[in-house]
Homo-oligomer: A and B are copies of this chain.
Amino acid sequence: MVSKAIPDIVVGRLPLYLRALSFLAAEGRQVTSSQELGQKLGISAAQIRKDLSHFGEFGKQGTGYDIKYLSEQLRRILKVTEEHEVALVGAGDLGHALVHYDGFAGKGFRISVVFDNNPQKIGRRLGTFEILDSESIETIIADRGIEVAIVAVPPNAAQEVVDALVRAGVKAILNYAPITVKVPEGVQVQYIDPVIHLQRMAYYL
């Protein structure tokens, strides 16, 4: 394997591999194979081997992959060995669900601050967090060096929030608002919109 630019589509599959490995580990399994992983994920075994080969040699011929070892390697590659602090903007129903979501634990992320622009909500608690004024996004996020944020605000507020996050130095944004936002070079955005997924499936109904 030679170090080259890794295709983004490959990077996008690594978290799926890691997730599948976590489940196998939880079942007490020690070793797996590209074939088994592929079966579980609906991906060809060859593709999994090829994807991993971009980063090194993690398996043993005739045996497969040590689950614990490969998980560690993937976590290292994805830079999720330590937990990233995440800023959440939007303390509505979705923000509430995200704050209480236990799926972030051990996966490399931890919500550590919550913002909202509603004066009714500012100063109140959401879970263990005090809801902070969105006006303070820039200073607080910059001060704390947070570089990951989740946007869970209505669509008409999303671009404005994203702009503030970018100014604060955030480099990765997970946007639940159903609009495509503009960000400068060097800032990543990923989108979660249930309607997009549902409409895509509706085509095949």
Contact = CB atoms under 8 A, between A and B. Distances in A.
Given A20-B180, A100-B93, A180-B40, A108 B202 contact: yes
Contacts of A100: 93
Nearest to A202: B79
A3 to B, nearest CB: 14
Interface in A12-70: 12, 14-16, 18-20, 23, 40-42
Interface of A: 11-12, 14-16, 18-20, 23, 40-42, 77-80, 84, 86, 92-94, 96-98, 100-101, 103-104, 107-109, 147-148, 150, 155, 171-172, 174, 178-180, 188, 190, 192-205
6 contacts: A80-B199, A80-B202, A93-B100, A108-B199, A171-B205, A172-B202
